[in-house]
Amino acid sequence: MKLGYLCSYTEAEVQRAARLGFQCLETHATSLVPSLDSPPDLKNIASRISDTLFANRITLSAISSYGNPLVDEPAKTLKRYSVIFDLAQLLGVSVITSMAGNLPDRPLKEGMARFTEVFTPIAKQAADRGMRVAFENWPGMGGDIPWHSVNLAWSPRNWHEMFERVNSPALGLEFDPSHLVWQGIDHIQALKEFKTKIYHSHAKDTEILTHNLQREGILGIHHNCWRYRIPGYGRINWAEYVAALIEIGYDGGLAIEHEDPVFAGDRFEEGLVRGFRVLNPLVNPVS
């Protein structure tokens, strides 16, 4: 297992990761390639990136693509994933982190049908090329009731249906326990239940804002009943979580997804440092 964080790729970001002691990065595809619809020379891009990573002793644990892949024409979406697969292979990366997408204004069954249509050919291409697509379990629900999710992969119930509809070893999860905490889902139980499908992991904590929750309830206040925090500053027991990853035999990237409002702006790097200090002794214990 390697410890890193999610970011947009720049040489300065690679240098910061090395300076702070991280081992890897998960980077947004759109920061590596300016356009997935009209990609430039991928070999030259990959060569420059590889040189920078090697010089700083940093690897890429995953390349992320976090749009809604179900809203465009399936052929166009497949072409975009093909470009990411091409670049990932040139960089020696085997995991693409992604949203499952959804049709937010349509019933769930229609979103699932669209998922099947879009990801069946993507899964086949990924499997043929030795790649894996890992869906983050972000609920993607905004606004007031009725909520309309832009991502199907928010709960174990949906994961079961997704993986039954597209039964491929190329499809799995980018497991983020923070999204399960505020839903009241046991993230350790879910991790163990889907242990063969965990292809990448985010490290993000959740603080429950009890005063708001008790006043309004989760239906009335929704996003104001919790906030995301750097690991160690919320409800998650990170020793328990890392122990569970080790128990299931997970050996991929553990990437801090820094969305902590306390350590935003000028304090962003402080947040990374604090998260590193919590996680590094668990991931890389001193012998």
Per-position DSSP letters for the chain, written without gaps between them: -EEEEEE---HHHHHHHHHHT--EEEEEHHHHSS-SSS---HHHHHHHHHHHHHHHT-EEEEEEE-S-TTSS-HHHHHHHHHHHHHHHHHHT--EEEE-----TTS-HHHHHHHHHHHHHHHHHHHHHTT-EEEEE----EESSSSPEES-STTSHHHHHHHHHHS--TTEEEEE-HHHHHTTT--HHHHHHHTGGGEEEEEE-EEEE-HHHHHHHHHHHHGGGGEEEE-TTSSS--HHHHHHHHHHTT--SEEEE----STT-GGGHHHHHHHHHHHHHHHHS---
Predicted confidence at residue 56, as pLDDT, reads 98
CA-based nearest residue to 84, from 71, 67, 100, 96: 96
Predicted confidence at residue 148, as pLDDT, reads 80
Predicted confidence at residue 142, as pLDDT, reads 72
Predicted confidence at residue 224, as pLDDT, reads 80
Predicted confidence at residue 212, as pLDDT, reads 84
List the single range of 1-10, 36-45, 114-123, 187-196 with lowest mean pLDDT. 36-45
List the single range of 4-18, 29-43, 148-162 with lowest mean pLDDT. 29-43
Mean pLDDT rounded to a whole number for the chain = 94
Predicted confidence at residue 220, as pLDDT, reads 61
The pLDDT-based confidence of 141 (bands split at 50, 70, 90) is confident
- Within 10 Å of residue 54's Cβ, how many Cβ atoms? 10
The pLDDT-based confidence of 39 (bands split at 50, 70, 90) is confident
Q: Which residue has better confidence, 279 or 141?
A: 279
Q: Which residue has the tokens 């990411």?
A: 84
Integer Cα distance of 31 and 46 in angstroms: 12
Predicted confidence at residue 259, as pLDDT, reads 96
Looking at the predicted structure, is the pLDDT value of residue 119 above 60? Answer: yes
Give pTM, 2 decimals: 0.95
The architecture that CATH gives domain 2-283 is Alpha-Beta Barrel (3.20)
Q: Name the β-bridge partners of 172.
A: 134
Integer Cα distance of 132 and 80 in angstroms: 15
Mean of the pLDDT values across residues 156-165? 98
Q: What percent of the chain has pLDDT over 90?
A: 85
Looking at the predicted structure, is the pLDDT value of residue 219 above 80? Answer: no
Q: What percent of the chain has pLDDT over 70?
A: 97
Integer Cα distance of 213 and 195 in angstroms: 32
Looking at the predicted structure, is the pLDDT value of residue 287 above 70? Answer: no
The pLDDT-based confidence of 38 (bands split at 50, 70, 90) is confident
The pLDDT-based confidence of 223 (bands split at 50, 70, 90) is low
The per-residue pLDDT for range 43-74, each reduced to its tens digit, is 999 999 999 999 999 999 999 999 999 999 99
